[in-house]
Structures are given as structure tokens and as C-alpha cells.
Amino acid sequence: MARISALGLDIGKRRIGVAGCDGTGLIATGLTTISRTSQKQLVADLLELVTERQVQVLVVGLPYTMNGSLGYQARLVQKEARALGAALQLPVEYVDERLTSVEAEQLLIDQRISPSRHKELIDRKAACLILQQWLDSRRREQGRELEFKPSVNKES
């Protein structure tokens, strides 16, 4: 399996949760939460992570509406993701992020951590869930590709 370095992003109005993965592409880990100050600062903060981790792709959570369509918020996220991808010179892939923040909150509650006091942690965990979903999907696709490849037998 090819090595991969990806950043998962949970893009919100106030903060952006960021997750990364190990080189094997098996496990996503929450890295940081970036508070929005300016677009220039956001790009600089992400560029530092991209360089340090040798990132190859940005994986962005796309907030589809519950009926599966792209609403206003999803289009805003796409616009920002395209701008970040261009600024960082990286491809952008999207993951359906419906309910990841709810799931992240539930994970905190299960750990007896107050979600209302740890918004940054929710954003980071949501980014982690987004990236993990992408990694799992990618692994399943690669498994199917290997499964269907015809075997090549060379006879001497």
C-alpha cells in the first residue's frame, strides 16, 4: 500500500479543526485547532503543517444537508477549500461530514469532558473523524482493486 500524508480539515466559521495521519494511512490523529484571524495567517499555519508533515492532500469535511444536497454552508466550505488548496498547492478531496460534530461531542461526553467548554477539541475530533472516514474509504477501494486484479502467472 502506498504511503500517504493527508490533513483532515473541519472548516468552521470561527475555527478549523486539523487532523493528520501516520504515513501508513491507517490512523487519523487530531493535531490542532486553528482560530480564524486572517486568511493569510490561516494559510501560514497550514503551510507550516503541510511542510512539516510532507502533506500530499487536503481532506475537507463537506457539510451536506440531511437530504444529501449541497446547501449554502457546503458551498462556502468548497470555496474556502479550493482557495486553501490553491494557496498550499495541494489537491482537495471531500468527505461527507454530516453529524461528525455531533459524534465528536458524544465522544467527549463519553470521556466525561464538557463539550461546551472544549469547542476546539470538538473541531479537532471532527477533523479526525473526517480524515479517518477518508482513510478507511481509501483502504477499502485499494482492497477492491487488489481483489479484482487478474493474477499474472509466468511459465518458464
Burial of 125 (0-12, 13-18, 19+ CB in 10 A): buried
Domain assignments of the chain as residue spans, ordered by start: 6-148
As a whole number of angstroms, the distance between CA 5 and CA 52 comes to: 11
From first to last of the 156 residues of the chain, give the pLDDT tens digit: 567 899 999 998 899 999 999 778 889 999 999 999 999 999 999 999 999 999 999 999 998 878 888 888 889 999 999 999 999 999 999 998 876 666 777 776 777 766 666 677 788 888 999 999 999 988 888 776 555 444 444 444
pLDDT value at position 145? 59
* Cross-strand pairs, 73: none
pLDDT value at position 146? 53
Q: CA torsion, points 22, 27, 44, 118, in degrees to nearest 10? A: -140
6-148 homologous superfamily: YqgF/RNase H-like domain (3.30.420.140)
